[in-house]
Amino acid sequence: MNRIDQCQATGKSLSPELLTEMYKWMITVRHFDRRAVHLQRSGRIGTYAPLEGQEAAQVGCGFALEKRDWLFPTYREHGVSMVHGLPMATIFLYWNGRPEGCISPQGVNIFPIAVPIATQLPHAVGAAWAAKLRGEDTVTVGFLGDGATSEGDFHEAMNFAGVFQLPVIFFCQNNGYAISVPLSKQTATETIAEKAAAYGVEGIRVDGNDIIAVYEAVKLAADKARSGGGPTLIEAVTYRYGSHTTADDHTRYRDGAEVEAWREKDGIERLKHTLLDLGVWSEEQDAAAWKQADETVQRAIDEMLAAPPVDHNRIFDFAYETLPRHLQEQREEMRTLYGNGGGK
């Protein structure tokens, strides 16, 4: 089922207070993303996957879910993860190469980041099956990009979810490219949402830069899942302004005019103008909100930078019950060079 025309937002379906809170989250996520790119360029974090341009899709999705729901992210779900309760500093620690960055606090139901494409989707389906068997009132959300629909894990997860009518949402942020490969090279179908029909699953296509449309689509899918109505595939049509990661150069495969055309549809600007039109926001409030976002992000950066050095021995832990001889030799060589503790 394709609902893209029915899910356009008017700004009247949600309270001004909720829209304002969503907007503040969106600018916080954007500021986080820009600072993360700067941190990578200055060598303070590793390769990073930017999300600028996809804030509406992520924040809108996050607000439509309940705290008890489970998220199964890719490497680009920083925004929805923060909305769901993952501390910003934890996300920075992940991109800083710290194992603490893979650990969600107690009560924050988010699985660790999945870098391999689509491998998190069978995990999401498995968790949804467990929830159904236990009679739990929870929904799982498996996140994916358009490129993930070319992976076998996507098809297996969709098929399993459809057969067993599981309480899972497949949330696809279709940003038009799988690294440098455009959507036209990924699929011959007109949309991603229509793929759902092959598995007996409902498909919904929404404007991913319209936060209210995203919120309403996810809320509908989550309510349906909780009532036993089965899975939903949501295609949020959006766009990433920058490169796939900081190791990529999007100018080699995208025309600058295309990027600028999408900037005209920016989700943050659209919601800002909605709030201004409703008379609940001002330019002064906007400037203050951006300043607050800067302070929030800076505190998280300071927390990451203040983390104690990692014990070098940890790179040899947890992979084997008994460390193989060649790794024992490497560990001893490392200790000879760097000592027995932590440090850079």
- Active-site residues, by number, are 240, 244, 253
Segment holding 99, helix H or strand E: none
How far is the CA of 212 from the CAs of 12, 204, 216, 222, 322, in angstroms?
9, 14, 6, 15, 53
How many angstroms separate the CA atoms of 6 and 213, rounded? Answer: 9
Helix (H) or strand (E) holding 60: helix 55-64
Distance CA 148, CA 144 (A): 6
Structure tokens at 11: 């700004």
Quote the CA–CA distance of 72 and 109 in Å, as a whole number. 9
**CA end-to-end distance (rounded Å), the chain:** 54
Do 143 and 120 meet the contact criterion of CB atoms below 8 Å apart? yes
Q: Which two tokens stand for residue 202?
A: 């409902």
Q: Which burial class, exposed, middle or buried, applies to 152 when counting CB atoms under 10 A from its CB (0-12, 13-18, 19+)?
A: exposed
At CA 44, angle to CA 43 and CA 49, rounded to 5? 85
Two structure tokens written together for 155: 């098809």
Secondary structure letter of residue 84 according to DSSP: T
What is the C-alpha separation between 84 and 86, in angstroms, rounded?
A: 6
DSSP per residue, 232-282: EEEEEE---SS-SSTT--GGGTS-HHHHHHHHTT-HHHHHHHHHHHHTS--
Angle, to 10 degrees, between the axis of helix 267-278 and the axis of helix 16-41? 150
